[in-house]
Structure 1
């Protein structure tokens, strides 16, 4: 296998915009994302002797950034857990009957989601709806649906149980659906 060389003096010009875009999408906070990209370059520079050349320079930097983002979510874990416990009311129970079936007024409405994803307006409304999620729901939603990380990895990285994970995903989806129906389907 060919070894990929490192050219640290070109990293900022070649990769900073791509890394920043990835970090902003993952963290939804431009200042934190900038800090993460700077840390990524610093860590890569500091550990370049450990680079074995198996990954391309770009992939190696993205791997470091992704690891930093996961560490960031881990550090927020205690705060997120306390918010989860504090907000663990049964806010979605009003959408269901005692039998567990949807209440007719709260049942999902028909809408062509595939066409809406292409719309910049829709993406803006979706972002606003994501902002309404709790920090823990945002973290899980981002890791699962934006980053594409497997649920077992998310549970391990955030140190949450599988059931807790699925409750967070379920509640995030319900909240996003409700927000989109109110703000997009009006």
Structure 2
């Protein structure tokens, strides 16, 4: 019996659009919430992959390799969106959440305290109406908050990675995550209930 070693995957650029475009588009649209930009990022991914064919070592599947390229393009998009972030945008988002919390202790006000959604958590994620509202709520977040939240909770990135990529401190990261969650929760309660 001979050991043939790890499987080496081959690239098939002629069939990338047919085999991977829909998957890559769905992956992108959930992270950037912009149809045109999502299409552009998928096209840029294919172009970059063609230019970097020699870099493919065959250790991963074609789709995994293309997704990794796309992921880097999405992170670049986050960086561009957040590099010129105005404090006014953050201040506006913080001002909008003031009515939901007591100024003295930061806890929810009685009238805005979280309510049960009334659906099983697995059920709710499959609900198209809920997903639509969640997407709209995410679009209301400041660009930096959306980028941090998406990288952490949708892409499951490590905190250190998110901080390094977006050039924020760990303490800023936790403040942003906390505020993003509070804003999403408030928006969902207002629009879903």
TM-score, normalised by the number of residues in structure 1? 0.88
Q: Which aligned pairs between 1:97-136 and structure 2 lie closer than 5 A?
A: 97-112=103-118, 114=121, 115-136=123-144
Provide closer, same or farther for how the CA distance between residues 67 and 174 of structure 1 changes in structure 2, counting only shifts above 3 A: same
Is the Cα–Cα contact under 8 Å of residues 33 and 135 in structure 2 kept in the other structure?
Answer: no
Aligned residues: 182
1:11 matched to which residue of 2?
A: 16
Q: CA deviation at 1:104?
A: 2.1
Q: CA deviation at 1:97?
A: 4.6
RMSD over aligned Cα, in angstroms? 1.8
- Offset from partner CA, 1:113-158 (integer Å, 9 cap, x none): 5143232111111112112211111111211222222222111110
Distance in 2 between the 1:57 and 1:49 partners?
A: 13
Aligned to 1:76, the other structure's residue is in SS state helix
- Offset from partner CA, 1:22-43 (integer Å, 9 cap, x none): 1111111111111111111111
1:160 matched to which residue of 2?
A: 168
1:57 matched to which residue of 2?
A: 62
Provide closer, same or farther for how the CA distance between residues 181 and 17 of structure 1 changes in structure 2, counting only shifts above 3 A: same
Q: Which aligned pairs between 1:64-83 and structure 2 lie closer than 5 A?
A: 64-80=69-85, 82=86
Q: CA deviation at 1:60?
A: 0.7
TM-score, normalised by the number of residues in structure 2? 0.85
Moved over 6 A (4+): none
Q: Give structure 2 stretches of 5+ with no counterpart.
A: 1-5
Is the Cα–Cα contact under 8 Å of residues 97 and 103 in structure 1 kept in the other structure?
Answer: no
